[in-house]
Amino acid sequence: MVRILGLVVAVILLVVWLVLMPKERPTVHADIVTSNFALYDAVRHLMPPEIDVQMLLPAGQDMHSFEPTPDDFKRLTHVQLFVYTSYGLPVTLLDFVAQNEVAQLRMDSEIEWRQFDKHRHQHAHGDTGHVSQASIDPHYWLDVNNQRNSLIYIATMLQEKFPAYAPYIQEQKLDYLAELESLEEHIRNAFVQCEIESFVVSHDAFNYFAHAYGMSTHAIQGLSPQAQPDPATMEAVIEMVESERIATLFFESFVSDTVAQTIAAQTGCKVDMLHTLANIDAPVSEGQAQPTYSSLMRENVAKIAQARRCQ
């Protein structure tokens, strides 16, 4: 009896520990913090390894539902530079950055922003507390040209801020620019001749990509990962999938694929995952290669080209 009781207590303690166990979060100290993965990848490449570069969001965290913790605020207070774009970030965080004189590099003016199609997305922006002025689409980095422009600007600013590293940054910038050029060529070659004009995603992140590389994209769910489309929207999506002969429905890595699966079951199409590059899907474990902007873009390109039946 005592042994059983002991076992029960042990199991209860284990469950309590599992429930209370904190999610893995970055440490409070960082030299440079960036607001999204595309900025992280650029800064990480430009700066030498001894500079500790971190993402604002913990790996696996969806940007649109991100709420900063006290540790996030603490980290920003001590950082040498916070590199960010404001669209899509929580207002509480931007207020904190403004009020606490955080060393910052705000990238907003360097980006060619696009607006969401107002008719399609009017219901999608009900999410609370995140900056979404004038229906600006925050996913600018999925157009390689925006990544290039932001890289050039960041490099110049980092050279000013860290003059000792200026030659290193210059070399790394040229290296990154060459990679972006090769990536762009790869993208253009992938979509020369395709049977299907558009691709369908659950999360509305791919407008920049579609616009830059000559295709169109339809989104099922808008921006909020929790959004559930109403029956009329579901019906419209199913009709569109059938009339445009869509073979694959994409969902993003942080979001439940339930809606995509439901539509797939009714239409007989496949379901697959795309990277939004706002963040990475999971912490990189030891021995595993760190995904890069370019590697994730190339994975997306291969999947979209296959879904559009490109040759």
CB 31 within 8 A of CB 52: yes
Q: Which stretch binds Zn ion (CB under 5 A): 5-13, 169-177, 197-205, 254-262?
A: 197-205
Which is nearer to Zn ion, 57 or 205 (by Cβ)? 205
Give the integer Cα–Cα distance in Å for 20 and 23.
9
How near is the Cβ of 301 to Zn ion at its closest, in Å? 18
* Beta-carbon-side half-sphere exposure of residue 145 (alpha carbons within 13 Å): 10
Give the integer Cα–Cα distance in Å for 204 and 22.
30
How near is the Cβ of 63 to Zn ion at its closest, in Å? 6
Q: Which stretch binds Zn ion (CB under 5 A): 120-128, 155-163, 178-186, 205-213?
A: 205-213
Q: List the structure tokens of 11.
A: 């199991």
How near is the Cβ of 302 to Zn ion at its closest, in Å? 21
How near is the Cβ of 177 to Zn ion at its closest, in Å? 26
Which is nearer to Zn ion, 125 or 186 (by Cβ)? 125
Q: Which stretch binds Zn ion (CB under 5 A): 35-43, 45-53, 122-130, 271-279?
A: 271-279
Chosen residue from 205, 212, 274, 301 binding Zn ion by CB under 5 A? 205
Which is nearer to Zn ion, 34 or 276 (by Cβ)? 276
Which is nearer to Zn ion, 159 or 253 (by Cβ)? 253
Q: List the structure tokens of 6.
A: 């002991």
Residue nearest to Zn ion (CB): 205
Give the integer Cα–Cα distance in Å for 203 and 63.
12
Residue 13: Cβ within 10 Å count: 10
Residue 103: Cβ within 10 Å count: 15
Q: List the structure tokens of 202.
A: 């659950």
Which is nearer to Zn ion, 82 or 116 (by Cβ)? 116
* Beta-carbon-side half-sphere exposure of residue 206 (alpha carbons within 13 Å): 27
Phi and psi (nearest 5°) for 44? -60, -40
Placement of tokens 């040759």 in the chain: 311
Which is nearer to Zn ion, 116 or 162 (by Cβ)? 116
Which is nearer to Zn ion, 30 or 142 (by Cβ)? 142
How near is the Cβ of 139 to Zn ion at its closest, in Å? 5
CB 77 within 8 A of CB 58: no
How near is the Cβ of 86 to Zn ion at its closest, in Å? 15
Of 203, 235, 200, nearest to 215 by C-alpha is 200
How near is the Cβ of 150 to Zn ion at its closest, in Å? 17
Q: Which stretch binds Zn ion (CB under 5 A): 53-61, 97-105, 185-193, 274-282?
A: 274-282
CB 84 within 8 A of CB 107: yes
Q: Which stretch binds Zn ion (CB under 5 A): 111-119, 170-178, 231-239, 276-284?
A: 276-284
List interacting residues with Zn ion (CB under 5 A): 205, 276
